[in-house]
Structure 1
Amino acid sequence: MFKVKVYVTLRESVLDPQGNAVKGSLNSLSYTEVQDVRIGKYMELILEKSDREVEETVKEMCEKLLVNTVIEDYRYEIEEVVAQ
């Protein structure tokens, strides 16, 4: 069994209005050292696959459903877990 952590962020070339709003709010709360904020998504998946298939399956899921590859980038981490 595998635990997969998927991190999705907007591409650098894409404006992030939500990140800008959070940055503005932090700055107005006197956190003026904050220069930029980018908002993203985090997902955890538990997969029951053989270790040969996991990476291919995760990439396929990301590109078909979890990520809008036109405006978002992604990365993932795979770790083997013991079933309980």
Structure 2
Amino acid sequence: MKARVHVMLKDGVLDPQGEAVRHALGALGFDGVEGVRQGKVIELELADIDAETAKAQVGEMCEKLLANTVIESYQVEIG
């Protein structure tokens, strides 16, 4: 079973990487990009367990290691 975790900075947290990408897009002629938020995607290959247990385990992984929950939010997809 696969799990995918999307980790993003919370709203209101400064995103210097996103701002650098926005600036670079403007320099390349892509006008009209008013904001960029950059995040990360983590894919996990899990042992065969039911989806509910997998989601709970991945949530615990996020809380303990994969996301800095003070400044980041995360979303878990099981599939």
Into which bin does the TM-score normalised by the smaller protein fall?
over 0.9
- The TM-score with structure 1 as length reference comes to 0.88
Q: Deviations over 1:29-69 (max 9, x none)?
A: 11012111111011100111420421110110000000000
2:75 maps to a residue whose letter is R
Matched, 1:40 2:32: no
Q: CA deviation at 1:72?
A: 0.2
- The TM-score with structure 2 as length reference comes to 0.93
Alignment map for 1:14-53 (pairs within 5 Å): 14-51=13-50, 52-53=52-53
Unmatched 5+ stretches in structure 1: 80-84
1:21 maps to a residue whose letter is A
Please tell me whether Structure 1 or Structure 2 has the larger radius of gyration of its CA atoms: 1
Q: Which runs of 4+ in 1 moved over 3 A?
A: none
Matched, 1:78 2:78: yes
Q: CA deviation at 1:14?
A: 0.2
Q: CA RMSD in A?
A: 1.0
Unmatched 5+ stretches in structure 2: none
2:42 maps to a residue whose letter is M
Between 1:45-54 and 1:30-39, the stretch displaced more is 45-54
